[in-house]
Amino acid sequence: MTPRNWLSEVDLSPANTLQLPSSAEYFCAPVTLKALQDCLRRAHQEMLPIQLLGGGSNVLLPEYLAGLVVHPALTQWWMEPRGDSLLAHVGAGVNWHALVMATVGKGLWGLENLALIPGSCGAAPVQNIGAYGVELADVLEAVEVMYLADGHLAWLSAEECAFGYRESIFKSELLGKVVITRLVLRLKRHAAPVLGYGDLAQRLGESPSSLDVANTVCRVRSEKLPDPAQLANAGSFFKNPLVSAEQARVLLDAYPAMPHFAQQNGTVKLAAGWLIDQCGLKGARFGAFGVHHRQALVLVHFGGGNRPELLAVAEQIAAEVKARFGVLLEIEPRLL
């Protein structure tokens, strides 16, 4: 008999923002650390594979997930004064955007550029969410994790998380080994605006508050990115590719207007959206899927499609970009 708080044969299509058809053999949403440990122990006893699912905004779900899908619903958060700053201790199940708006509503600085990113706080470190010149890594102090094997808790410092562009230890060494249970974020009481990206500064007046910045970021995002509640999508479908300085120079000779961003390690980041757009694919429709008409980096699902079809579309787009620019695009969402 399965535990009372487990559901069986659960439809996960509403639980992923791409609305891919998917179901889980078992599903549970523990609200405390103890309940989470109990879930893990029980899954081991029953020899069930465990999959983790946060807000479902950055995953590609298969049609069937055998075993137990765990949705951490740890939704407590609190603040601790620390000198000039405040440390926010945030449960993995807290909605990221709700947290951002709650902190800017208190006049705190640090998360404003990351407004309107869908998903849960527990998923944020996995891909080191980033937007408008700020990454989670810039504000993260530590992460609490629970080991899936035996339920023990451990802390990782920001350095130990090995953050990179849309990368972290949770995608490499710790993949499939831990569940993130809590984040500790460092927030500032004093104004610390980061307005260097795009036209953020021009859109804001003198001395904006963190709430002003967050509201402006929301407006910019809403102008370009489809709302998953209206049109299914998982945000950027590809990572912005990093190429060598040499390859960037050759491409810039041919395409002088190409957006490019030199990185500290000597590589150059290109805009995948621009590359796809240049291939004439913005707004293109491929059966149940399409390239969004305002942001070519986002693939949208009009309904009736599935993961293999979506992956085939992504492959076709990547092949066109490779043929035209010689640049390899990598998928951003996680394949469960």
**Which residues contact ligand EPU (rule: CB under 6 A)?**
131-132, 197-198, 224-225, 235-236, 239-240, 259, 271, 273-274, 277, 282, 295-297, 332
Smallest distance, ligand EPU to C-beta of residue 84, A: 27
Strand order in the sheet with 285-286: 232-236, 298-301, 289-291, 285-286
Task: Tell me how far, at minimum, the Cβ of 129 lies from ligand EPU, in Å.
Answer: 7
CB of 179 to ligand EPU, least distance (A): 22
Q: Which of 25, 85, 236, 307 is catalytic?
A: 236
Active-site residue (options: 25, 166, 210, 307):
166
Choice between 107 and 198, CB closer to ligand EPU: 198
Q: State the nearest-atom distance from the C-beta of 284 to ligand EPU, in Å.
A: 11
Q: Is 221 a catalytic residue?
A: no
Nearer to ligand EPU by C-beta: 70 or 114?
114
Which residue is closest to ligand EPU by CB?
A: 235
Q: Which of 144, 182, 332, 334 is catalytic?
A: 332
Diameter over CA atoms, the chain: 66
Q: How far is the CB of 277 from ligand EPU (least distance, A)?
A: 4
Based on CB atoms, which residue is closest to ligand EPU, 70 or 276? 276
Active site residue 332: yes
Place of tokens 């530590």: 142
Q: Which is nearer to ligand EPU, 11 or 315 (CB)?
A: 315
Measure Cα distances from 120 to 58, 75, 183, 308 in Å. Answer: 10, 10, 11, 26
Give yes or no: 112 in active site: no
Task: Give least dist CB 101 to ligand EPU, A.
Answer: 17
Q: How many CB atoms lie within 10 A of CB 307?
A: 18
Order of strands, edge to edge, in the sheet holding 268-270?
242-243, 268-270, 260-262
Nearer to ligand EPU, 74 or 131 (CB): 131
Closest CA to 104 of 193, 44, 170, 206: 193
Minimum CB distance to ligand EPU, residue 28 (Å): 27
Taking residue 219's Cβ as centre, other Cβ atoms within 10 Å add up to 12
Pick the closer one to ligand EPU by CB: 27 or 274: 274
Minimum CB distance to ligand EPU smaller for 56 or for 235: 235
Looking at the annotation, which residues are catalytic? 166, 236, 332
